[in-house]
Amino acid sequence: MKVTEIIAQAKGPLFTFELLPPLKGHTMDAINETIETLLPYNPAYINITNHQMEVVYVDRPDGLVERRTTHKRPGTVGLAAAIQYRYGIPVVPHLICGGQTKEQLEDQLVELNFLGIENVLALRGDPPHGERRFIAAKGGYDHTDGMVAQISAINRGEYLDPTLRDPVATSFCIGVAGYPEKHAEAPNYNHDITMLKRKVDAGAHYIVTQMFFLNERFFEFVDQCRAAGIEVPIIPGIKPIQRRSDLDLLPQTFRVDLPVTLVDRIERCKTAADIRKVGVDFCTAQVAQLLEAKVPGVHFYTQGRAEPIANVVEATYPKGILR
């Protein structure tokens, strides 16, 4: 089922979450454990992240340093298919511009269509670890709107090769990312909204946001989107803070502001358990306010930690929508 169909047919707010593929050489055991912890809360769909090649520098025996690329978290498509067929839950694999050509994107879409996967989240992707700026692959896309336009074209049966005879149209539901505190590379907020409008105009069906910790930023973002003529569903993305190091890492990595009250409460904590409780309590209040505002649902970034999300959902979601 498509995400937009799930939203339209929902009898209450959706609960969804995101998973990272396991590191290369590892099994799905931790993934299955996370899913099974959250299954009782009736997840509407599960997102699977995508990661491009990373740059690493390796010392050589001759004393020189060699630059190499490595793929630490492969398997997005395979993991998505395995989850959908094992658990019967719709999946949303992420597609990224980084590291692939238009032809490779098309082949990936053909593969997803064969697997019966109906949803994708189109993203530009971050620069590879070790690189300062995003550089598109030769024959690839600089921005997500181009990728969205290509997926929309395939949905109309228009492939890159014009000589194909009777090509079959796909029917992917396309999600894109929105940034309540603007994308880190956007020169200003208005420009960021304009770029988001381009993605929607290219064919995106819904928006899921980057994590945020100030709900007023999300409500202002939705108002700005509606004023710009963006009418597709907008789903807030949320993460409960669980470690003291999150106070530094989250603003650095995701360019988000943390409320003074939250930072103060965490800095006063004496133990790791205290920090986890503060994170869950804050997230619970945040989600409760979002649900009261009648958002379509809440999308949780698990980052390998299912228990705090289960605690938040248990405390906030209407019991009637839980299994």
Q: Where are the domains of the chain?
A: 3-321
Give the global pTM: 0.93
Q: Three-state SS for 210?
A: strand
Give the pLDDT of the chain (323 residues) as one tens digit per residue: 999 999 999 999 999 999 999 999 999 999 999 999 999 999 999 999 998 877 778 888 887 888 777 778 889 999 999 999 999 999 999 999 988 999 999 999 999 999 999 999 999 877 666 667 777 778 889 999 999 999 999 999 999 999 999 999 999 999 999 999 999 889 999 999 999 999 999 999 999 999 999 999 999 999 999 999 999 999 999 999 999 999 999 998 899 999 999 999 999 999 999 999 999 999 999 999 999 999 999 999 998 899 999 999 999 998 655 54
How far is residue 188 from each of residues 183, 191, 192, 193, measured CA to CA in Å?
9, 5, 6, 9
Q: How far apart are CA 177 and CA 186, in angstroms?
A: 14
Domain 3-321 has CATH 3.20.20.220: yes
**Cβ-contact 238, 301 below 8 angstroms:** yes
Render the burial of 98-123: b for 16+ CB within 10 Å, e for the rest. Answer: bbbbbeebbebbeebbebebbbbbbb
Q: Three-state SS for 263?
A: helix
